[in-house]
Each structure stands twice: as C-alpha cells, then as structure tokens.
Amino acid sequence: MSITMMLFDIAILLVQAAFSQPEQVLYGIVLVITHTIVMDKMLMLGDSRTEVKIISTRSDEIRTAILAEIDRGVTVLHGEGGYTGEPSEVLLSVISNRELPRLEKLVHSIDPACFLIVSRVTEVSGRGFSMEKEYQ
C-alpha cells in the first residue's frame, strides 16, 4: 500500500519538477520517502507479533502455565541437544508484544535457567489470530 502511494507521489513530483524550483522538488521527495517509511511502520505495528521458543527441563509446567495464565496456544516440538544428544522439548508460542514481559516473568519463575528465544514475526494466521478462538 505505502509503496504504491510513494510511486504515485514521486510521479507527481517528477511532473511538477518541470514547473517548480529544484529545492521544492527535493523537499517533496524527502517528505514522500519519510511519509512512506512512517506509514509502513504504522501498518506493520498492528500486525506484529512475538514468537517465543522455550527450551527447559520443566517444559510441561511451563506449557500448562502459558495455556492457563496467558491464554495462548503452545506447540511442543521435539528436539535434541546438539552437544549432548539428549532429547528435549521445545515450546513454541506466538503472543502479542504486550504479553512478552508477562510471559518472560512467568517462565523464569518456573525455570530461571531455561533457554528463551524471542523473535518478532510480521504475519500470523490461524486460530486466535486471524480466526476466532474456540473455547472448550
């Protein structure tokens, strides 16, 4: 959306370049680029989510706590330690940006030594995000 608007704005500025001073056209181009960047950030702000991967020896307790206290889904991935070769469970959950501090506090209260990986994701679809939740 923002790129399309920027292309139209720059096309208008290029036509205007024949009739205006070069400084005004350059200011217009800077304004269009700034406007595009801000609009792009604002559009992405609402859709941005946080992906959390948790590796812990107490994964069952953490999974139960996330489901009960934060009301977010959790996927259990089965992994293996690269150095030790020991099997481990990796918990994967996608939460809103505002829920991250609460989740971190919850997870560290259960297992202070857990391994926590936090990533920003720009698009999430599925139950609880783009589809209504089903309560049982």
Taking only the tens place, the pLDDT of each residue in 115-129 is 999 998 877 777 766
**Its pTM surpasses 0.85:** no
Phi/psi region, residue 71 (left: phi>0; alpha: psi -120 to 50; beta: rest), is left
- Which token pair is 6? 């920027």
Phi/psi region, residue 126 (left: phi>0; alpha: psi -120 to 50; beta: rest), is left
Where would I find the beta strands (DSSP E) of 14-74? Answer: 49-55
- Which token pair is 81? 């330690």
Question: Dihedral, CA atoms, 35, 41, 46, 48, nearest 10 degrees?
Answer: 170
43 CB burial (10 A radius; 0-12, 13-18, 19+): exposed
- The pLDDT score that the predictor gives to residue 101 is 92
- Which token pair is 123? 């698009």
Tens digit of pLDDT at every position of the chain (136 positions): 677 888 888 888 888 888 888 888 888 888 888 888 888 777 666 667 889 999 999 999 999 999 999 989 999 999 998 899 999 999 999 998 888 999 999 999 999 999 999 998 877 777 766 556 565 5
Q: Residue 66's Cα: distance from chain center in Å?
A: 18
